[in-house]
Amino acid sequence: MVKRGYITFQKKLYNYLSGRLTPDLTIDKESDGEGALEMRLKYCYIELKSNETWGIITEPIIANWTGANPMD
């Protein structure tokens, strides 16, 4: 029997914008909804890249995520 599962959605929307979303699906064992399917957010990652040079910084990347390190 499977008790926990993950599914990852990744999308490159534009050349400069991409993202990743991974929900954690499990069976609730502790609250009023015991036995119901429960979904939590494992990863939510957004990356914004630029091909421009900003002074001494080349190929800057701005990233934001929640959860564990998405580079793992």
Greater model confidence, 12 or 43? 12
Greater model confidence, 61 or 49? 49
Summarize the confidence of residues 38-54 as an average pLDDT. Answer: 80
| pLDDT of res. 50 | 77
Greater model confidence, 27 or 32? 27
Span 58-68, pLDDT tens digits:
777 777 767 65
Burial of residue 46 (number of CB atoms within 10 Å: 0-12, 13-18, 19+): middle
